[in-house]
Structure 1
Amino acid sequence: MELSSFLRTYKTRAKNIHWFIGAGASANAGIMSAWEMTWEFKRNIYCSENGKSISSCKDLSNPRFRELIQSYLDSQQRHPNVDSLEEYSHYFSIAYRSESDRRAYIEEKISSAEIKFSHRVMAALIGLGVCKAIWTTNFDSVIEESWQSLGLPISKLHIASIGNAIKASQCIREDRFPLYVKLHGDFQSSNLKNTKSELLEQDRDFRNALIELVGSRFGFAFVGYSGRDDSIMSVFEEIISKANNDYPGLFWFNRTGAPVVPRVYELIETAQKKGIDAHVIDIPSFDELMLNLYKYLNDELMDFEDYLQPMLERRSPVSLEPSNQETDIIRFNAFKVLSVPQSVYLFDCDIGGVGEVKDRIAHCNKVLATRVSGGVLAFGDRDEIASVFSIKEKNSISVQPFKVKDYKTSEYFLLYQVIEKIFCSRLPLKSYQNKNGLTLYIDPDSKNLALFNPLINALKTKFENSPKINGKTPGLNRYWSESIQLRIEERMDALWLIVNPVVYIEQGERNWDDPRYVKQEDFRKKRLGSRYNKQADDIFSAWAVCLGLDHHHSNRSVTFKAFKEDIAVNPTIEFSTVSSFSNRG
């Protein structure tokens, strides 16, 4: 399911869908994630047991420090496997043995939290009755503070936490909303749920409220939550086992590119088999999700416009002017699209959906096309279009303006075809397209890797002077290569080409129980994990050079045509060759 589809669905079902938020929804407030906390626990254990100072391995973003720490812990043979579901609670209980110490640790971590626009939108949703309840595993008070920042008295928000868990059942039974349920407690509670024994069994009142009262009436939208708590996942598995196909839905938001816990997929698949509207939905971030909700539900949230709009107005357009001043802080992996194709062919023909059109043009070098509600949109040679689609009257193939901002998914698909044609004609690349955009990877049959010399040079380190850019993975022996994900996004009234260097691995079955698959994914993780700022920037720059987007060779902009031949409707795209960056203004 696409985010746009969810927005339309949510507008209709909002009062029947509760939100379930996890640590990811608080990360932008400056609160550490469970993964980051887990590595702090590991480091503290390692340093205390080996007579080391914390500062000796302070930078936990460095994989060498993490490998050193993990190697020691693995040698003890009494700890869970790395990245397993049990790690957080296991290491927390060792690093901080008493409940009061754990509470003090959590309080310190959340004390500097700063509420954001996204948190205010979430508070506004329940404040205006758009949705009725939010459930969370978080300890912080970000939602409560956001509620008050909207000018709402805290007494109007029904809060159920450890110690008054029965309040959740009472509020739901008596239809007293809005309700905010803190399943693991508040940092001020005398009983926080953090360790394995504490997390093993949710309070009976919370469990009863979820299964018996909520589960039969309300669906859920999950955001920022990994699905790693067995006690909570078992509750939702029971809810789905009892639900029928008129259940309001289960919508699990996942950050684009991040792995999804297998148990989450199993929950969604179980729901789908019962005819329930259940989906994993990729989003760039919690902020982007809330921004899209705010825009789409603007009429419903109008009462809080004065509180929400000023936070949006703080954003300013990204400058594209190159500068050597110290104010250049962060370089972004985005190139502005200065112009897009102006014209496109439109015609009607007896053909099915997008897939059928794709099959029809698969072996045609002079036609790009996709299906839309009004017929077929196409770029290329009119004679060849008529031949491929069996159109007898070429005059029925009319020329229309191509206005990409007015178009939806199918039209973007056509624009991606143009970009694919441009770059795959320039370099020996293969491609595949999905809902996340376009992925370009090195052709496994290519013998001319010299075209990627800028990339090879960028990958060099003092430990590796002749880096590989493709090959076979350990474990499953699948083809891999350096690659890029390309995505077109509209931001600040402009189109942008987002270029994200990644590692491509040949598609195949995903089975985390297979040690060969685990070895393959470890290979991907280690290859990407060691790329710090300078090398990441060098790799991005290298791809820009390879693609022809480097301003040192092409001045301030570059224009590409999809077809080398002189064709009437030959799609042309102009990109800025200066990648965007932030500055202090």
Structure 2
Amino acid sequence: MSIIDRVLDSPNPFPQGLYWTGLKGSPVHPAVGAMLEKARKTGVQAEYVEVETFDAFMSRLWRQLDGKPIDLDMKVRRAQVADVAIPLPLVGNAKPLIRLNGLPVRLPQRCFKLEFKRPQEWADLREATKDHRSTVIVTKGEHICCWGRADDIRACFGTSLTGMVEIDLPDDFHAADNLHLKAFFEEGLITALTKDKPLLPRMKPSAGYIIVDPHAVEVGPLAPLQRVVGKTAGLIPGLLSPVDHEHPVAQKVQWAEALRVSLDCKDARTWLLLEPDIWIWPTHARTVATQFLDKRKEQRYNGTHNLLLNAWTEIVLATNARNAELALRPFDDGSEAETPTFHIGSRTAFSRRTTA
């Protein structure tokens, strides 16, 4: 009998429970897994706790202890809460304190409600629109909502489509019944922001992405970004994508400068949030490109981040005018239900001191 078996067979071996720590993302050793399972079968609360590092774990454990000596606690803690007095400028002369990454945006109010011969699931809609992503934008909730020229919508769905009715869109895409509209608005936005530019639109469940087109011939519009970061796309030398059952063939890994785009509501206003990022192809290779990404992003804070926001704002809005409002549309022509209009301000939000 092993020592672990003897301990577990003893009465009340772990009155407070058994907790085993390991590095986050690392596999659980079979012997540890077997020990925890044995402990649970004997009625002991046994858990495997993931931690970033041993130091991080010990720091968190230290914070839970009571009655720590003050002199020792001062050596362990990296930061302390303290009262401070920061002089602020006089009212009337206050300048912005923090620049934020949100542009004010007014969303379109009309779209089509589509009617079909039979109920449409998301799989049906994705299959129908896969070759029409540049001309038709669709979402599914209580109704199937769509933007696109009427002729393009009919070409997309064919004889399964029985009708198109113009409807009003709700203002609050955060309401429980309207959550599907957030991605709908975001896809319409990035389609409008990338139209006729050397940029690629991509949608993910959490947000949209605007990516520098590595194969674009006319790259003049990218000059503001090139002045900040230099090269905007390329191949990661010597790196191949991981191989698994879904991706049986290793591929060379490419990168391109990108912008994460999402919508949010704050202070009763809608904001377009811009977050500079880097896109990786193929997407499942991002896990093996962390060293490249860390190196590429390591200096992108404060002044550099400010320049990046300026560059991306100028590129996607096609203007360097400050405090201007632009009207952007994803398609060339059509009614408001066919090609929606997004009104976007070119000055980002900022914080400043307010008067009492």
TM-score range, shorter chain: 0.5 to 0.7
Which amino acid in structure 1 is aligned with residue 53 of structure 2? L
- SS of the aligned residue for 2:158 comes to coil
Q: Structure 2: which 5+ residue stretches go unaligned?
A: 1-50, 61-67, 85-91, 241-251
Q: CA deviation at 1:103?
A: 2.3
The Cα shift of 1:91 comes to 11
Match of 1:470 in 2: 233
Instruction: Give the corresponding residue for 2:214.
Output: 444
Q: Which structure 1 residue ranges, 5 or more long, are not aligned?
A: 1-82, 93-98, 115-323, 460-466
Matches of 1:499 and 1:563, distance apart in 2: 22
- Mapped contact 2:224–2:311 kept (Cα < 8 A): yes
Question: Which SS does the other structure have where 1:483 is aligned?
Answer: strand
2:79 to 78, 97, 109: 109
**Alpha-carbon distance change, 391 to 410 in structure 1, aligned in 2, over 3 angstroms:** farther
1:584 counterpart residue number: 353
The code of the aligned residue for 2:344 comes to: F
1:537 aligns with: 306
- Alpha-carbon spacing, 1:561–1:103, altered in 2? closer, same or farther (3 Å): same
**Mapped partners of 1:521, 1:489: distance in 2:** 28
Distance 2:197 2:233 in 1: 15
CA distance in structure 1 between the partners assigned to 2:328 and 2:108 by the alignment = 10
Q: Select 2:255's aligned residue among 475, 480, 483.
A: 480
Q: CA deviation at 1:403?
A: 1.7
**Partner residue of 1:457?**
227
**Structure holding more strand per residue:** 2
Deviation at 1:457, TM superposition (A): 0.8
Instruction: Return the alpha-carbon distance in structure 2 between the equivalents of residues 106 and 558 of structure 1.
Output: 53
In the other structure, the counterpart of 1:432 is 202
Aligned partner of 2:146 in structure 1 is 378
Local SS of the residue matching 1:345: strand
Which residue of the partner structure matches residue 19 of structure 2? none
Give the Å deviation of 1:508.
4.4
Counterpart residue type for residue 399 of structure 1: E
Q: Does structure 1 conserve the Cα–Cα contact (< 8 Å) formed by 2:95 and 2:352?
A: yes
- Determine if contact 1:551/1:557 at 8 Å carries over to the other structure: no
| Identical-residue share of aligned pairs (%) | 16
Alignment of 1:297-316 (within 5 A): none
Residue 264 of structure 1 corresponds to none
Q: 1:531 to 1:366 in 2, by over 3 A?
A: closer
- Paired position in structure 1 for 2:98: 330
Structure 1 residues 89 and 417: CA distance shift in structure 2, 3 A: closer
Q: Which amino acid aligns with 2:167?
A: Q
Other-structure match for 2:343: 574
CA contact under 8 A between 2:101 and 2:273: conserved in structure 1?
A: yes
Matches within 5 A, 1:175-574: 326-337=94-105, 339-349=106-116, 350-364=118-132, 365-374=134-143, 376-391=144-159, 396-406=163-173, 408-459=178-229, 467-474=230-237, 475-476=239-240, 477-509=252-284, 517=288, 520-548=289-317, 550=319, 552=321, 556-567=324-335, 569=337, 570-574=339-343
CA distance in 2, matches of 1:358, 1:102: 60
Aligned pairs, number: 271
**Which aligned runs of 4 or more in structure 1 are off by greater than 6 angstroms?**
89-92
Alignment-derived partner of residue 123 in structure 1: none
In structure 1, what is the equivalent of residue 7 of structure 2?
none
Rate the CA distance shift 1:511–1:561 in 2: closer, same or farther, 3 A. Answer: closer
1:547 shift after superposition? 0.8
1:289-330: CA deviation from partner (whole Å, max 9, x where unpaired): xxxxxxxxxxxxxxxxxxxxxxxxxxxxxxxxxxx9552111
Partner of 1:85: 53
One-letter identity of the residue aligned with 2:292: F
CA contact (8 A) 2:135 2:148 kept: yes
Higher helix share goes to which structure? Answer: 1
Distance in 2 (alpha carbons) for counterparts of 1:409 and 1:357:
18
Aligned-residue RMSD, C-alpha:
3.1
Structure 1 residues 140-160: Cα deviation after superposition (integer angstroms, max 9, x where no partner): xxxxxxxxxxxxxxxxxxxxx
> 2-side partners of 1:393 and 1:455: how far apart?
43
Q: Assess if the C-alpha contact under 8 Å between 1:367 and 1:385 holds in 2.
A: yes
Aligned equivalents of 1:511, 1:342: Cα separation in 2: 37
Q: Cα distance 1:479–1:404, how it changes in 2: closer, same or farther (>3 A)?
A: farther
Cα distance in structure 2, aligned partners of 1:451 and 1:549:
8
Higher relative contact order (CA 8 A, sep 6+): 2
Contact 1:358 1:370 in 2 (8 A): no
Q: 1:449 to 1:106 in 2, by over 3 A?
A: same
Structure 1 CA distance for aligned equivalents of residues 333 and 95 of structure 2? 45
Task: Please give the TM-score of this superposition, normalised by the length of structure 1.
Answer: 0.42
Whole-angstrom distance in 2 between the partners of 1:89 and 1:343? 53
- Residues 351 and 383 of structure 1: CA distance in aligned 2, closer, same or farther (over 3 Å): farther
Deviation at 1:548, TM superposition (A): 1.3
Q: Check whether the contact 1:343–1:401 (CA below 8 A) recurs between aligned residues.
A: yes
